[in-house]
């Protein structure tokens, strides 16, 4: 039996902000709106994010999470969020 399993990580992608002064995007994750935590240290300069936060970082296979993405401008102001619900795949066979 393997000592660790490879679990697929949820991939997120979004459309760019229409604002000209956007420098990047922040991603938040939690089990509900009250428990959201920002999981990006600095604004992402891409339109996609792969959440590899398994184990101690918080993701549990088979669980469902609320994810929010905000656009960030040069003054560190954040836009209204886009929001989605993500269920982490649970396709690893038990040991």
Round to whole Å and give the CA distance between 74 and 35.
Answer: 27
Rounded to the nearest 5°, which phi and psi values hold at 78?
Answer: -110, 145
Residue 10 has pLDDT above 90, yes or no: no
Separation CA 86–CA 64 (nearest Å) = 6
Residue 82 reports pLDDT greater than 90: yes
pLDDT tens for residues 35-44? Answer: 899 999 999 9
Q: Is 0.95 topped by the overall pTM? A: no
Residue-wise pLDDT tens digits, 12-29: 899 999 999 999 999 999
Helix (H) or strand (E) holding 9: none
> Percentage of the chain with pLDDT > 70?
82
Does the pLDDT at position 6 exceed 60?
no
Mean pLDDT check: name the lowest of 51-55, 79-83, 87-91.
51-55
């Amino acid at each position: 039996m393997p000592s660790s399993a490879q679990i697929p990580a949820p991939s997120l992608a979004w459309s760019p902000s229409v604002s000209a002064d956007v420098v990047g995007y922040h991603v938040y994750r939690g089990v509900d709106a009250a428990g959201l935590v920002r999981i990006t240290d600095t604004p992402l300069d891409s339109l996609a994010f792969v959440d590899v936060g398994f184990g101690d970082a918080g993701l549990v296979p088979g669980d469902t999470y609320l994810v929010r993405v905000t656009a960030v401008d040069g003054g560190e102001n954040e836009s209204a969020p886009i929001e989605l619900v993500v269920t982490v795949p649970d396709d690893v066979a038990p040991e």
